[in-house]
Structure 1
Amino acid sequence: MDFKSDYSSTCRMLLEQVEILVTGPFLPSKIFLSKSYSPLVSSWLCTPQPRVNGEWITVISGAQLAVKVEGVIQHGSRPGLFRSVEKVTVSLVTQPTPRANTNEKLYRMSL
């Protein structure tokens, strides 16, 4: 086999591969898409609202707590690309407030 013919067939094969890559559709990998996704929730509303951000909310036992999430989930930094929300996960931590014993209250009042 001649070196020139081997070289030309290799070049022809490489050119065919480049042509396939250039003319074919560009499909970025799923990992690339998930890394470029940066969600942004513009606002959320919780009733009752805390006076200071991060402050505990006191809710009477048996009362209902309403949480409303409003906003737009944007895709990346380009405005106009939006995604739909499948679900919102809310983490709730409860801690009962200590109550004074009723008998102890009456005893203190009678003194």
Structure 2
Amino acid sequence: MSGKLGFDEFKELWKNIRAWKLIFREFDRDNSGSFNTHELRAALRSVGFRLSHKAFGALVLRYGNKSGLIDFNSFIHCSVKMKGMFRAFNEHESGGQTRMAVDEFMHVTMYS
């Protein structure tokens, strides 16, 4: 929460970015340089992010352009945010603190 990355955090982030880059290339099936909603959902599922239609819609509104397309930079931002949100949910859930479904948590925290 300091806004700074330690070396171990940087290594983890760099590893994730490289993995997400490969996923972007794999799921950008039309080679447009951006994801449409079908490509995005498939890419997110491949890394274990499962969202309801409501949470997915919020994600597209937050990270997509006017046409609903998500470019590589936005995909990276989205992936970092989702990883953090899932981690926070799981940490709170395991401690008995969370009193909402993961989908509701994702929807509520998408804009924070």
Question: TM-score higher than 0.5 here?
Answer: no
Identify which of structures 1 and 2 has the higher relative contact order when contacts are C-alpha pairs closer than 8 Å and 6+ apart.
2
TM-score by length of 1: 0.22
Give the strand-richer structure, 1 or 2. Answer: 1
